[in-house]
Amino acid sequence: MINKINLYIFMQILKSCILIFFIFISISWLLQVTRLLSLTNLIQVDIITIVLLSLYLLPNLITVVMPFVIIFGIMLCFIKLNRDRELIAIYSLGLRLKTISLPIIIFSLILSIFFILLKFYVSPYVYEKYKKEEFELRNKINFEKMIVSNFLEINNDTVIDFKKNENSFDEILINYKDENENIIFAKKGKISQDKLNYVFELNNGFKLTIVDKEIEKLEFENYLLKINIDKEIQYEHSDQNTFTIFDDIKKENYLNISYKIFDVAILIFIIFFYYNNNIKTHKYNLSNNIFFISLSSLVLITNQLLKNAESSLIYYLSIIISINLLILIIIYYKKLRNE
């Protein structure tokens, strides 16, 4: 049965983790926005579009930062409780360690359910939408969203430049090659595209064609030009971070499933590790905290390195389990030495 003290400790853990969560997720999100700004052609996309696109990254970012949120969140909580003498007050009332362990168990269960849903379905589902949107942004030209063109190469043979004033295109310059080299200038015009062509409806301009080192000039009031779109690049659904649990089962991708299971297990392991290393021993000093952070980080780094190596399922499981067992042995002997 949960009493007021259990609820109080649970809320303190939750508050500390939420504080650390917003710090980490804000930094991570801003870094991703900066990356998108640097990698995306800003002459084609306004900043609002990039910011909205970056929101699709949030579920995936949460799965990345969550272990660090738990490490620093739970540590911050109990350092504060110890500093304010609240833990001493709890033990002075004759209450046992169960008073602290119960809210930790409840927190771990809620965290596990949330992280399983996020890791196995929500994050891959939303991340795939992000990958598709980013692909469209990088590989398809949307003239309506362009800010300026700055001599934009729309295919291997065509370069265009124009000034955009809200929904109108002014001072359009087109340099393209067919049998000859051509330069077109128009004061105004409309630019659109269908499945096969970029369509330029030009007004009040001229066309220069270079034929055998001679220049032919054609002045026009209205001119229609169609430029072939290069063969469309297709989006490939190959990133394992975009596979939901249903995709993995369908493709029998058990290695990816094991990655996600151990990501959840590592979160629980971190909490269990802190409970045994710090809470049970009533030690919240700097050396114990550094020991906790170091070994937790070792597990996280090793897990990520093995994922990047794309090792076999048996190799991955054996390494991760061995490291976790080694840490448990270290905790056990450390506890014996303290006793």
Ordered by start, the domain boundaries in the chain are: 4-140+238-338, 157-228
C-alpha 21/C-alpha 18 separation (Å) is 5
Question: What pLDDT is attached to residue 145?
Answer: 60
Cα distance between residue 285 and residue 73, in whole Å: 16
Distances (CA, A) of 39 to 36, 84, 155, 238, 332: 5, 48, 20, 21, 48
Task: Using DSSP, state whether 150 is helix, strand or coil.
Answer: coil
The per-residue pLDDT for 69 is 95
Q: Checking DSSP bridges between strand 197-211 and strand 214-228, what pairing results, if any?
A: antiparallel
Angle at 103 between CA 99 and CA 106, to 5 degrees: 140
153-162, 178-187, 318-327: the lowest-pLDDT one? 318-327
Residue at token pair 């303190």: 12
Beta strands in 12-157 (DSSP E): 152-155
Residue 186 in tokens: 């128009």
User: pLDDT tens across 70-87, in order?
Assistant: 999 999 999 998 888 888
Q: Per-residue pLDDT averaged across 202-219, rounded? A: 87
- What pLDDT, on a 0 to 100 scale, did the predictor assign at position 211? 84
Can you give the pLDDT at residue 337?
A: 60
Q: Enumerate helices (H) and strands (E) in the chain, giving the number of each.
A: 10, 6
Q: Which amino acid is at 159?
A: V
What are 229-286's pLDDT values in tens digits? 765 556 666 678 888 888 888 888 888 888 898 899 889 989 988 988 888 888 888 8
Helices in 143-285 by DSSP H: which ranges? 245-250, 254-274
* pLDDT at 39 (0 to 100): 59
Q: Nearest 10 degrees: CA dihedral of 216, 220, 223, 226?
A: 20
Q: Both tokens of residue 170?
A: 């002014």
Say yes or no to pLDDT of 42 above 60: no
- How many Å apart are CA 298 and CA 277, to the nearest integer? 16
Confidence check: pLDDT of 121 > 70: yes
- Percent of the chain exceeding pLDDT 70 equals 81
The string over 79-89, giving b where at least 16 C-beta atoms fall within 10 Å of a residue's C-beta and e elsewhere, is bebbeeeebee
Helix 98-117 / helix 4-39 crossing angle, nearest 10 deg: 30
* Arithmetic mean of pLDDT, 106-135: 91
CB 80 within 8 A of CB 16: yes
Return the pLDDT at 108: 93
pLDDT of residue 310: 65
203 vs 197, residue with greater confidence: 203
Given pLDDT bands bounded at 50, 70 and 90, which one contains residue 95? low
> Sorting pLDDT into bands at 50, 70 and 90, what band is 311?
low
pLDDT band, very low/low/confident/very high, at 316 (cuts 50, 70, 90): low
pLDDT at 334 (0 to 100):
63
- Give the span between the Cα atoms of 49 and 69, in whole angstroms: 29
Residue 13, judged by CB atoms within 10 A of its CB (0-12, 13-18, 19+), counts as buried
Q: Is the pLDDT of residue 66 over 90?
A: yes
